[in-house]
Amino acid sequence: MMAEAPLVEDYELFNDCGDMHLRGILHGSPDPRHEDGARFVSGVIQVADEEEGWAISYHGSYRLGAPLRPADE
């Protein structure tokens, strides 16, 4: 299941009003609303493991690629 999940590169997990979300560049989404390589913001993330490289929302699962690097690095 996770092997077929869309990949999110340059990702960032962030808090919005107490809910965790994921944003980044989405690749391989089966949802036609999301063009390959487009910037993406998820719905509420239920659970994520950055070390293992995955996140799960109400709407599906995501594989996490490289995290977003701060501009000063």
In 10 A of CB 40, how many CB atoms?
20
Task: With beta carbons less than 8 A apart as the criterion, state whether 67 and 50 touch.
Answer: yes
Count of CA atoms in the C-beta half-sphere (13 A) of 40 = 27
Kindly report, residue by residue over 11-60, the tens digit of the pLDDT.
999 999 999 999 999 999 988 888 999 999 999 999 999 999 999 999 89
Q: How high is the pLDDT of residue 70?
A: 75
Look at residue 9 and tell me whether its pLDDT is greater than 90. yes
Q: Residue 1 — very low, low, confident or very high, per pLDDT cuts 50/70/90?
A: low
Residue 69 to residue 33: CA distance in whole angstroms = 27
CB proximity list for 56: less than 8 A, separation 6 or greater: 45, 46, 47, 48, 62
The pLDDT of 3-14, averaged and rounded, is 95
